Structure 1
Amino acid sequence: MGDGSTIAPKDTQTIERDEAGDQRLGETVRLLRQRAGLSIQDVATRTGLSTGMISQLERARAMPSVRTLRLLSIALDVPISYFFEASDGAEPQRYIVRKSNRRLLRLTASGVVKEALTPAGKGELEFYELTLNPGGSSGTDFFQHTGEKAGYILAGSLRLWLDHQAHMLEAGDSFRFPSVVPHMFDNPTQQVARVIWVTTLHQADPPAG
């Protein structure tokens, strides 16, 4: 299946990079919440997450799943790409994203890395290359919201759960579904999966379910 990629043990530099990324992500959530004039309780009410979880996320003592981050992006009225790390490359362009200038989001606890393929800023469309490590997942709960999602499996395998039914997708397979359908995904194999992932979302809409 796929290209046979496997995960190498993490070295000290990689661990330090992941920890720095976790800290930056927590600070970003806190700053966006404060900028919106929201308390932790306000965000908890909007997302359905506990105040303790949000507090831990902001202090980098807990890491969000893909689902949790999507809930936060809706509650804070920002694209999920606001949580991505800025590239060290050239000045970003308004309409174009160079491969060397992609912004990254590492959800180390979930085994997920997202690379933004769309420029920074709000829009109707979010476009990523998603890398899912063996055992990685979007989280343990199903999620639903407005809009649509679509994708294409570049390598490896992705198990996509739609309305509690599992669909095992291999390289070359693709999908599209209304985001109101309860969904989640994971990688139950021992190989890395790579997926092109597209999401449309009206940011003003509240999370469902």
Structure 2
Amino acid sequence: MSGRSSAGRAGAAPGPEALGEPPVAIADDGDQRLGETIRLMRQRAGLSIQEVAKRTGLSSGMISQVERALATPSVRTLRLLSIALGVPISYFFEEHEPVSPARYIVRKNDRRLLRLTASGVVKEALTPAEKGEIEFYELTLNPGGSSGSDFVRHTGEKAGYVLAGKLRLWLDHEAHVLEPGDSFRFPSTVPHMFDNPTQQVARVIWVTTLGPR
């Protein structure tokens, strides 16, 4: 970590909640599209809601609410669902027709978006829609925005670079406050979560390697 970062126990870690954390009820067109996408992927995988709940540790009720657009999931919840369903998290992003189609290139105006209003997070996909081994985003965190209320871990690696504002990255229950110009990389098997503890918007380049499934 950079010498400018405040690494260590920057206050107590957010209180862990049950894995079936209650989602925030916010219904809009984006939630409807996201819920339908998750339901379709689950059905294609031949899984029941109960089976997905067992794989993720989330409650069946929560998964059902997300699929019916009665709640907006956190980043953490989407990551758990993507692992359970065997797809990149980018599959949940909004789809639209690019202005100038290109298999390997993503133009700024063609970025796919994932808006998680309840979590205060917007993710912009910087990689093409085709499935690959790397997921690459620009992450915008509003004041108080976070990945969710509990830690997550999975296979692969994560790395990133802070463009603006401050990112508080929790690794194995230890807090590291990163500022513009700071960067990071860690195995995704390390319990992790992140949030923006300030009153300014934070922007981060975020990279995830998926690892074996």
TM-score by length of 2: 0.85
Confirm or deny: 8 A CA contact 2:136 2:208 kept in the other structure. Answer: yes
How many residue pairs get aligned? The number is: 187
Which of structure 1's runs of 4+ aligned residues deviate more than 3 A?
A: none
| Whole-angstrom CA distance in 2 between matches of 1:175 and 1:92 | 32
> Unmatched 5+ residue regions in structure 2?
1-26
1:84 and 2:84 equivalent?
A: no
1:12 corresponds in structure 2 to: none
1:107 corresponds in structure 2 to: 116
| Whole-angstrom CA distance in 1 between matches of 2:212 and 2:165 | 31
Q: 1:60 to 1:91 in 2, by over 3 A?
A: farther
2:186 corresponds in structure 1 to: 177
1:134 and 2:143 equivalent?
A: yes
C-alpha RMSD of the superposition? 1.2
| Whole-angstrom CA distance in 2 between matches of 1:154 and 1:163 | 24
Match of 2:68 among 59, 62, 66: 59
Q: 1:157 to 1:126 in 2, by over 3 A?
A: same
Alignment of 1:32-47 (within 5 A): 32-47=41-56
Secondary structure of 1:55's partner? Answer: helix
Residues 158-167 or 195-204, more deviating: 195-204
Q: 1:203 to 1:91 in 2, by over 3 A?
A: farther
Code of the aligned partner of 1:150: A
Percent of residue pairs identical: 81
Confirm or deny: 8 A CA contact 1:155 1:193 kept in the other structure. Answer: yes
TM-score by length of 1: 0.87
Confirm or deny: 8 A CA contact 1:92 1:119 kept in the other structure. Answer: no
Confirm or deny: 8 A CA contact 1:129 1:194 kept in the other structure. Answer: yes
Match of 1:69 among 75, 78, 85: 78
Confirm or deny: 8 A CA contact 1:79 1:121 kept in the other structure. Answer: no
Secondary structure of 1:150's partner? Answer: strand
Match of 1:116 among 120, 125, 134: 125
Match of 2:37 among 13, 23, 28: 28
Please give the per-residue CA displacement for 1:93-138, whole angstroms capped at 9, x wherever unaligned: 2111111100000011100000000001221100000000000000
| Whole-angstrom CA distance in 2 between matches of 1:87 and 1:117 | 14
Secondary structure of 2:76's partner? Answer: helix
Alignment of 1:144-183 (within 5 A): 144-183=153-192
Code of the aligned partner of 1:163: D
1:3 corresponds in structure 2 to: none
Secondary structure of 1:168's partner? Answer: strand
- Per-residue deviation, 1:88: 4.5
2:9 corresponds in structure 1 to: none
1:188 corresponds in structure 2 to: 197
> Unmatched 5+ residue regions in structure 1?
1-17, 205-209
